[in-house]
Amino acid sequence: MHKSVYSLVLSDGVVQRIDQMAYARGLSRSALIDEILAEHASMVTPQMHASSVFEQMERLICQEGPFQALRQSAAGLFAVRGVLPVKYRPAVRYQVELHPQEDGRLGQLKASFRTQSSSLLQALGLFFQAFMQAESAACSYAEGRFQKELRLRRSAVLSADETAQAISDYIQLVDGALQAFLSLWPDYTAACQAAARQRALYEQGDPLLL
């Protein structure tokens, strides 16, 4: 949805209250006003769509799973925190950035790991080297950071619930495969086989994402 700059005359008290509401939700003044006007006009903005997706994702992967939702300072972003099954339980952070659906693109997923352990970084590098061989969409891994373009397998326009389910399933694939791999590391062959079984289970569910 294209945006332009408009000049509006608003009451100071209204703007002050809007600013308080926007801060509480991590939105800019313009984003909140845009949302309020869209709701009044019975329209759905990309930001409103993203908020619906992220609310559903939080229910899907946080309420009954091992993840903790993290508050974001910018609109259009969602992140969860998990832990790895190794000594000291280092954190893994999965962040989703949604884009307007276009040419099958939904957005981008980033995974980052808080560790300075050379052995863990080596294991992560080997895991993602094997994991990315089965990926169809663009992805990369370097220095403890994985990045993946979220693309649909087939042409479709997904609802907020469908988008949330598709992305949640993929995050659970990455995390489940990684957890399985690390639980058997340093037996590389067994670790890869365990991660591959997680991939097979994911594929059996006819996933929407590449």
- Residue spans of beta strands (DSSP E) within 5-153: 68-70, 77-83, 91-102, 105-113, 139-142, 145-151
Q: Is the dihedral of CA 201, 107, 60, 41 positive or negative?
A: negative
Calculate the alpha carbon distances from 210 to 5, 97, 104, 105, 203 in Å: 37, 17, 10, 10, 10
- Domain extent at residue 184: 46-204
* 149, 71: one domain: yes
Structural domain tally of the chain? 2
**pLDDT tens digit at each of 210 positions of the chain:** 567 787 888 888 888 998 998 888 777 888 888 778 767 776 667 677 788 899 999 999 987 678 999 876 566 789 999 999 998 899 999 999 998 777 788 999 999 998 889 999 999 999 999 999 999 889 999 989 999 999 998 877 788 999 999 999 999 999 999 999 999 999 999 999 999 999 999 999 989 998
* 101, 164: one domain: yes
* 34, 58: one domain: no
Residue 91: inside a domain: yes
* 22, 65: one domain: no
| Model confidence, pTM | 0.82
* 33, 117: one domain: no
CATH number of domain containing 17: 1.10.1220.10
